Every structure is written in structure tokens, then in C-alpha cells.
Amino acid sequence: MTSRPTVSIISAEGKAGEASHPLPNVFKAPIRPDIVQSVHTGMAKNKRQPYAVSEKAGHQTSAESWGTGRAVARIPRVSGGGTHRAGQAAFGNMCRSGRMFAPTKVWRKWQQKINL
């Protein structure tokens, strides 16, 4: 039988006793880096603060589609003139100043339970 490291028993008063017991085998098990990484990631997720974009973001303009027959995409265009913004595409997630696809919500699952 291989010898295991021993630990001395300390009394409730803080005095070291004469008895010593072998350390359990679980303390000789190797540390698994994949488990350490998953626990570290889970603990880091619990420090995050929920954020979201405005529900009106990307829709605060009066844009209408020009329809067909103008050799441009049928995405809504900003109306008006005398500014660079006039005629630009709006509302779509592929457009500059448009809304984002699947806007972030505060009720998303931000935290993760870990078994500690």
C-alpha cells in the first residue's frame, strides 16, 4: 500500500493534537483544466450586468418604400431632400442606422448556475 500524506488534527481550542490521519484519496486526484475553465467562465458570467438596446432604435425616421421600377432595392428609404440622409435605406438590419437583428433584451439569461 502506498503511503498517503497525513494531516494532524487540531482541537477546538486551536491546539495541535498528537493524532494524525491519512489524507483522503480525493486530494491526490489530478486537477482537470476543462472543469476549472468551465467553473471560471460560469463565475465570470455571474458578474455581468444586463443591457439592451432601445425598442425604438432604428425606427425613428419616416421612411417608406419606393416600390418597384426604380432600379433600387425595395427597402424603405428616408424621405426628404437637402441632406445626405435623404434617400438612404432605413429600418433593416443591413442598413446604416437601422435596427439590429434580434435586439438584446434585459430578460436574457445572463447568469449561469455553477455547482460549488
The pLDDT value recorded for residue 23 is 86
**Residue 37 confidence class, pLDDT cut points 50, 70, 90:** very high
H-type helices in the chain, by residue range? 33-45
Burial of 79 (0-12, 13-18, 19+ CB in 10 A): middle
Do 102 and 115 meet the contact criterion of CB atoms below 8 Å apart?
no
Query: Which of 113, 100, 110 has the alpha carbon at shortest distance from 38?
Result: 113
pLDDT tens for each residue of 47-101: 999 999 999 999 999 999 999 999 999 999 999 999 999 999 999 999 999 999 9
**Residue 25 confidence class, pLDDT cut points 50, 70, 90:** confident
Which phi-psi region, left, alpha or beta, contains residue 13 (left: φ > 0; alpha: ψ -120 to 50)?
alpha
pLDDT at 18 over 80: no
